[in-house]
Amino acid sequence: METLLRTDPEKYGYQAGLSRLQRFLSKIQYDWSLRDYIGRKVFEGGYVRLQPNIFSSSLTERLFHACCSLDYVEARRAAEHRRKLLSGEVDDTAYNRRMAEPQFRLVQEANVIHVDFLWSLHCFNPRPFRAIEIYRRVWEEADLDLLEDG
């Protein structure tokens, strides 16, 4: 993906955020300090081994914020391209018609409720409706986290 972005940024530039997300996840994959210690199996004698398992609630929240932010940026990019297509600033080609629509959506609006439910079920966040709050901050206030520090 990096090669595509480098060789033809005009054609593949919309994937830059996805590439940043992939690099961020690769970078933290084995960083156990970013994980919560969870015991999943009860061993003979009633013991549970606690070990780093799932991403911490703060990291999970940040990843959700980043995914919503990438969706927002892609929707704005597509809307701007659509405006240019309709005004004649870009040629009416199959490629430009395709690019006038968002090329990906990581977090569907309907799934935000599911995320919030899972966070509540697993006690991932001390505040209720946190996923809904993040989603609304992104889409209504353009409060973005594009992982540009990682």
**Average pLDDT score, the chain:** 93
Q: What is the pLDDT of residue 88?
A: 97
The model's pLDDT over 94-108, given as tens digits with 9 standing for 90+, comes to 999 999 999 999 999
Q: What share of the chain is helix, strand, coil (3-state, %, to 5)?
A: 60, 10, 30
pLDDT for residue 50 is more than 90 = no
Q: At what angle do helices 130-141 and 57-87 cross, to 10 degrees?
A: 30
Q: Are 114 and 124 in contact (CB under 8 A)?
A: no
pTM, whole model, 2 decimals?
A: 0.90
Give whichever of 48-57, 86-95, 122-131 has the largest mean pLDDT: 86-95
Give the Cα separation of 133 and 97 in Å (integer).
33
Going by pLDDT thresholds of 50, 70 and 90, the confidence category of residue 38 is: confident
Residues 51-71 have a mean pLDDT of 94
SS3 (DSSP) at 82: helix
Torsion over CA: 90, 94, 95, 97 (sign) = positive
Q: What is the pLDDT of residue 137?
A: 98
Give the Cα separation of 48 and 1 in Å (integer).
42
Q: What is the pLDDT of residue 150?
A: 63
